[in-house]
């Protein structure tokens, strides 16, 4: 990879004429900054890789070694350390040859072997489909990256060379790799502050997925660049003259977005090309942070700043460690000017991110730069995310959310500034402070005002979280939280809660069947229980109870095995449903059963028991599965409300909806949802979802509604 990004219009996604590198080229490139013994180690790794891949070729027909050599050269251009470059040369050895990690440890040491092992894909035979394989391999790589950030740097170099040489693959495979690059790898590069890498990956992916749009946009940019020269020159001269008056020196560059960024801006904001190119962008590079603020004063004195468009990323860096001052000005002829002001160190960090300053000085790794600290914070979040994710696809979904942050900055009451994605709520903030704070939060105070936990936060706000000892996460929070940490912690709690509820329900179901066999838990020998647990290949009896509650095993079958009976089920008492069983007992949305309705329970694997009305038409095709049905009945004194759908045929007149809502309220009920379907002839159908306690409560409500003059008829909806 070159020291400067390729001009977008000059990128050629099928680079048939890519220069043929040799090991001598690589050694020459690394000899400028590495010791001679380290360069020799790189040469030794090359010969080992060349021998390992002997006889293997790429789709282009070239020897396979040309790929790892090119990857190592990309890493050398980034001035990575010698172990990282050796890993680049060896990155496919474990995956594609007979050599193992132990072989690499013997030859090149633990560090290099760990890097290569972290880049090695898992065996494909273990996965159901390509998406699952991609998710699990990415999960493995990111966990390896949490131990050593160089794993992802080598992977990005590998992906960059693959993108440069996609031309020999089938079109559908090219598109799949390009989509994956734009979806995962370019955002990871951005998250790590590696702007040069991100820009080239994005433009190569853009060219593959949308070749015509790419060419049209590249041509338009080339033409516009020529037409803008006069204004750019005038603005540059004005800034230089004012700088000289103030005794400042700086390097002023015209800044141009890469093609994919231009395309995304046009699509997301529905702008034409001329509207996007109306903005003139400049980057001013000065000596140190103090000069950044002095230069800001210069440009603000020269051109009037646009209110609300100034951002100080030096005082509050971005999540990837990026630092700069951003401002927008009213330029000559009213043209908007975007200006970025940063020091030369900030410029280097903005381009290379965590790959910047990687060299070893005085025997110690310079790994304490802002980008490295931010990267470590992100990786810690990745580890927390993976602990709470149920499977690799859920992990990948959370990662995608995390990779596209449009950030806001909010503070704690003590003044600590936290970075959150735009759209974050008070619950997201609570989990960002600490998982325990999020799990026990009950309210929030923004400024001095109490606000709901679903309140969206804005930059600059001070947020205080109010907690309570007995509080716990609410499933409804999943509807509005946006951070992976919050989502993962809530789901983890709910899974644990569901497990507890399923265990309790399983115990009730099994007790009911044991009673039918004239026995109970206390009378079953512990030896028999342990033997049954072993037979089901479980570790604890609670696991078996949980699986019964979730519907994975039949309570009757388990009861028969415990009492060693093979007879058919004897007469049993129905399972009493109180409506407080939690997530493992749910009520069907098709028929909305309420206390007083004749009901039966369907045992659904993984979901527990679903309660239906006996008259529900949707259960007709399921009734042949006798073992799936459970005899249930309503418990006494149920203290909760249940939703019911009513169809109310009414005359169209002023205030009809308000009158009906008032009547429902007078009947101690509440309307959850209303759907209005206007009919011809001055009538409408109102579909109401209301909350009632039981059939008697519903009957009282219907009688009240029927007394209204505008109501023609009412019926309960059971689909």
Q: SS3 for 408-475, per residue?
A: EEEECCCCCEEEEECCCEHHHHHHHHCHHHHHCEEEEEECCEEECCCCECCCCCEEEEEECCCCCCCH
**Which of 324, 325, 323 has its CA nearest to residue 297?**
325
Run of H or E residues at 195:
helix 195-209
What are the phi and psi torsion angles at 578 (to 5°)? -105, -10
Specify burial of residue 293 (Cβ count, 10 A radius: 0-12, 13-18, 19+). middle
**Which of 630, 624, 596, 626 has its CA nearest to residue 611?**
630
Distance CA(471)–CA(292), nearest Å, equals 48
- Is 96 catalytic? The answer is yes
Task: Yes or no: say if 179 and 209 are a contact pair by the CB < 8 Å rule.
Answer: yes
**Which of 378, 381, 337, 373 has its CA nearest to residue 357?**
373
Task: Yes or no: say if 231 and 280 are a contact pair by the CB < 8 Å rule.
Answer: yes
Q: Select which of 12, 62, 95, 543 is catalytic.
A: 95
Distance CA(372)–CA(358), nearest Å, equals 10
**Which of 72, 47, 70, 67 has its CA nearest to residue 57?**
67
Handedness of CA 266, 269, 271, 276 (dihedral sign): negative
* DSSP-based three-state secondary structure for 434: coil
Distance CA(399)–CA(381), nearest Å, equals 10
Give the burial string for 647-670 (b: 16+ CB within 10 Å, else e).
ebbbeeeeebeebbeebbeebebe
Angle (deg, nearest 10), helices 370-388 and 484-516 = 10
Count CB atoms within 10 A of the CB of residue 544: 22
Q: Tokens at residue 677, please?
A: 């379907």
Distance CA(133)–CA(122), nearest Å, equals 8
Distance CA(325)–CA(282), nearest Å, equals 12
Helical H segments across 303-416, by residue range: 344-352, 370-388, 392-403
DSSP 9: G
**Which of 161, 152, 159 has its CA nearest to residue 179?**
159
Q: SS3 for 67-81, per residue?
A: HHHHHHHHHHHCCCC
Q: Select which of 25, 50, 62, 96 is catalytic.
A: 96
Distance CA(494)–CA(608), nearest Å, equals 15
Distance CA(104)–CA(111), nearest Å, equals 10
Which residues, including other chains, have CB under 8 Å from residue 508's CB and lie 6 or more apart? 575
β pairing state of 336-343 and 364-365: unpaired
Distance CA(374)–CA(710), nearest Å, equals 64
- Is 347 catalytic? The answer is no
If you compute the radius of gyration of the chain from its CA atoms, what whole number of angstroms results? 33
Length, in residues, of the chain = 719
Q: How many helices (H) and strands (E) does the chain have?
A: 28, 23
Q: Tokens at residue 26, please?
A: 């690589």
Which residues, including other chains, have CB under 8 Å from residue 344's CB and lie 6 or more apart? 285, 286, 287
What are the phi and psi torsion angles at 710 (to 5°)? -80, -10
Q: Which residues are catalytic?
A: 95-96
């Amino acid at each position: 990879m070159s020291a400067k990004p390729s001009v977008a219009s000059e990128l050629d996604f099928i680079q048939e004429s890519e220069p043929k590198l040799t090991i001598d080229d690589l050694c020459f490139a690394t000899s400028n900054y590495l010791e001679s013994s380290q360069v020799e180690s790189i040469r030794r790794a090359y010969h080992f890789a060349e021998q390992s891949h002997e006889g293997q070729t790429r789709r282009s027909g070239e020897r396979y070694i040309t790929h790892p050599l090119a990857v190592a050269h990309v890493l050398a251009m980034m001035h990575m350390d010698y172990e990282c470059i050796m890993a680049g040369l060896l990155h496919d050895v474990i995956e594609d040859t007979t050599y193992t990690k132990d072989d690499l440890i013997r030859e090149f040491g633990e560090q290099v072997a760990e890097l290569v092992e972290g880049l090695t894909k898992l065996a494909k035979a273990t996965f159901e489909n390509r998406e699952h394989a991609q998710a699990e391999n990415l999960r493995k790589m990111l966990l390896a990256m949490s131990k050593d950030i160089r794993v992802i740097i080598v992977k990005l170099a590998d992906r960059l060379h693959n993108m440069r040489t996609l031309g020999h693959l089938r079109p559908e495979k090219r598109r799949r790799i390009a989509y994956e690059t734009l979806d995962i790898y370019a955002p990871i590069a951005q998250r790590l502050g590696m702007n040069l890498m991100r820009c080239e990956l994005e433009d190569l992916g853009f060219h593959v997925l949308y070749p015509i749009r790419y060419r049209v946009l590249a041509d338009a940019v080339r033409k516009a660049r020529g037409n803008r020269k006069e204004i750019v020159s005038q603005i540059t001269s004005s800034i230089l003259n004012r700088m000289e008056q103030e005794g400042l020196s700086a390097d002023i560059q015209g800044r141009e977005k890469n093609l994919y960024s231009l395309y995304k801006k046009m699509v997301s904001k529905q702008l034409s090309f001329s509207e996007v190119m109306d903005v003139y962008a400049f980057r001013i590079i000065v000596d140190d942070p103090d000069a950044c603020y002095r230069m800001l004063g210069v440009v603000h004195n020269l051109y009037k700043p646009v209110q609300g468009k100034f951002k100080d990323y030096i005082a509050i860096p971005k999540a990837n460690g990026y630092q700069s001052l951003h401002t927008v000005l009213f330029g000559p002829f009213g043209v908007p000017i975007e200006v970025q002001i940063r020091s030369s160190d900030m410029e280097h960090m903005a381009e290379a991110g965590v790959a910047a300053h990687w060299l070893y000085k005085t025997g110690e790794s310079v790994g304490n730069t802002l980008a490295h600290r931010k990267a470590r914070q992100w990786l810690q979040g990745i580890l927390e995310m993976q602990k709470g994710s149920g499977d690799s696809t859920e992990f990948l979904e959370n990662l995608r959310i995390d990779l596209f942050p449009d950030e806001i900055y909010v503070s704690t009451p003590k003044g600590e500034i936290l970075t959150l994605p735009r759209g974050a709520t008070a619950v997201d903030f609570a989990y960002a402070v600490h998982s325990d704070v999020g799990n026990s939060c009950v309210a929030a105070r923004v400024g001095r005002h109490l606000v709901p936990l679903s309140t969206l936060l804005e930059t600059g706000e001070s947020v205080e979280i109010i907690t309570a000892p007995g509080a716990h996460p609410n499933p409804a929070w999943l509807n509005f939280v946006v951070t992976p940490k919050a989502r993962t912690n809530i789901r983890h709690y709910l899974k644990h809660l569901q497990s507890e509820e399923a265990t309790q329900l399983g115990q009730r179901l099994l007790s009911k069947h044991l009673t039918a066999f004239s026995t109970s838990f206390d009378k079953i020998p512990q030896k028999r229980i342990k033997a049954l647990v072993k037979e089901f290949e479980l570790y604890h009896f609670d696991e078996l109870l949980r699986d019964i509650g979730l519907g994975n095993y039949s309570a009757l079958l388990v009861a028969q095995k415990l009492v060693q009976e093979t007879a058919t089920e004897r007469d049993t008492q129905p399972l009493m449903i109180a409506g407080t069983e939690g997530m493992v007992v749910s009520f069907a949305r098709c028929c909305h059963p309420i206390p007083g309705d004749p009901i039966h329970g369907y045992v659904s694997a993984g979901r527990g028991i679903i309660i239906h009305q006996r008259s529900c038409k949707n259960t007709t095709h399921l009734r042949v599965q006798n073992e799936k049905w459970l005899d249930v009945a309503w418990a006494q004194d149920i203290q909760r409300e249940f939703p019911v759908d009513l169809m109310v045929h009414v005359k169209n007149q002023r205030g009809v909806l308000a009158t009906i809502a008032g009547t429902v309220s007078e009947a101690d009920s509440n309307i959850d949802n209303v759907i209005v379907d206007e009919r011809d002839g001055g009538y409408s159908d109102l579909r109401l979802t209301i909350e009632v306690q039981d059939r008697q409560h519903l009957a009282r409500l219907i009688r009240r509604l029927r007394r209204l003059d505008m109501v023609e008829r009412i019926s309960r909806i059971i689909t």
